[in-house]
Amino acid sequence: MARNIELLNRRSLAVPRGVATALPIFVERAENAEMWDEDGRRYIDFAGGIAVLNVGHRHPRVAAAVRAQLDDYMHVAFQVTAYAPYVELAERLNALAPFSGEARTLLLTTGAEAVENAVKIARAATGRAGVIAFTGGFHGRTALTMALTGKVTPYKRGFGASVPNVYHLPFPVPHHGIDVDQTLRALQFLFAADLPPEDVAAIIIEPVQGEGGFHAAPAELLAALRKLCDEYGIMLIADEVQTGFGRTGRMFGIEHSGVEPDLVTVAKSMGGGLPISGVIGRAAVMDAVEPGGLGGTYGGSPLGCAAGLAVLDVIEDEGLLERAVAMGKRIVRRLKELAARNDLLPIGHIRGLGAMIAFDMLEGQGSDTVAPNGAKTVTTRAADEGLILLGCGTYGETIRILVPLTASDAIVDEGLAAIERALRT
């Protein structure tokens, strides 16, 4: 651990403490679903760079595409002189859009930037300001996306007054005591007390909450929101930053519900490790913004576009949608076996779509009550067992699994064995 310790000490002097790192590990190299730290220790990666590496670390086809682009040009700014990879990636994403009709795609850099622009577009298209989000949702760390995020600590605490015209509804989680009817009643109360529906530009929702604990939005809720949006001319935004690009077994998580959004935000695994994001939207909605109203210096960078095109090829050619489904079944089956044992820390509420899987730490065997901050113990133990694993959830109770979809069954099983060891009492 000598090199890791040295770098950790240097980090404390060079980097502000507000930038937290889950584990005291410095990566030296990575390949597919494996990582090696600066001291040469190997780890299985069940975090995937927080859902960025659906096609794995340094996928050969993504790396080759980026190298080829490097030989041509690295940056010119699309707002100055355009380039083919931006248009090609937009065309590919338009063809994959999870809604009927003509689509347009705006390319950007980060997930938060995508969400900011989706809200801008919705406001331009409707002439309204109000935006409705959900408790437990995570949409970014900028001023607007922090306001949309439905979790105070650590994302809002100490940063002052929130951006106005943002409202939250309770997200339905049965073991938190909230169902779809309660969520929809809260929406009607909001319309009656604070925000007339005619003033709402957009409702934004994650098809599966990421930071909130991998809780899937019920199809019943999404259908009800779609109906309300149609009735009042509100834009429905699906935040697919974490759920997109095959993680759930579909290209986009909302496809499981059959509900069509008006705008879709994408990022993370879109670039296979390079920073690129976007907004895919209905053509009439996207074109509501005047020329010059959208963009960004690095938005849709040539390297990011090259990576994004390669990622789409890999997902299709390697059958990663089907792989996500098979992998998810394998993981869930093993977790259910672990949940049935009495010699391990108690776990439950095993859930997920495709290979976007999570479980909760519980207060006791047979209990339905989650153990607050229970995930931290397990993720720390898992690192000692050679596994990179992340927690999440409103109360820090949830373990989430985001292993690359390109990982072999042997690697997945090795990671699950490490989870078993980390759960031993």
pTM for the whole thing?
0.97
Residue 162 has a pLDDT of 87
Average pLDDT of every residue of the chain: 96
Residue 319 has pLDDT above 70, yes or no: yes
Assign domain 2-55+320-422 to its CATH architecture: Alpha-Beta Complex (3.90)
Residue 34 has a pLDDT of 98
Distance of CA 99 to the CA centre of its chain: 20
Residue 45 has a pLDDT of 98
Cα separation, 167 vs 184, in Å, equals: 14
What pairs with residue 34 in β-bridges?
A: 31, 44
In a 13 Å sphere around the CA of 205, the CA atoms on its Cβ side amount to 30
Decide if 2-55+320-422 and 63-317 have a common fold.
Answer: no
Residue 268 has a pLDDT of 98
Specify whether domain 63-317 bears CATH 2.40.30.10. Answer: no
Residue 59 has pLDDT above 80, yes or no: yes
What's the chain's length in residues?
425
Residue 1 has a pLDDT of 66
Residue 156 has a pLDDT of 86
Reported as a pLDDT band with limits 50, 70 and 90, residue 313 is very high
The SS3 assignment for 156 reads coil
Residue 425 has a pLDDT of 84
Instruction: Kindly give, in sequence order, each residue whose CB lies less than 8 Å from that of residue 316, ignoring residues fewer than 6 positions away.
Output: none
Domain range annotation of the chain: 2-55+320-422, 63-317
Residue 366 has a pLDDT of 85
Residue 84 has a pLDDT of 98
pLDDT digit string (tens) for 134-184?
Answer: 999 999 999 999 999 998 888 888 888 789 999 999 999 998 999 999 999
Residue 215 has pLDDT above 90, yes or no: yes
Residue 31 has a pLDDT of 98
Whole-number percent of the chain with pLDDT over 90 = 95
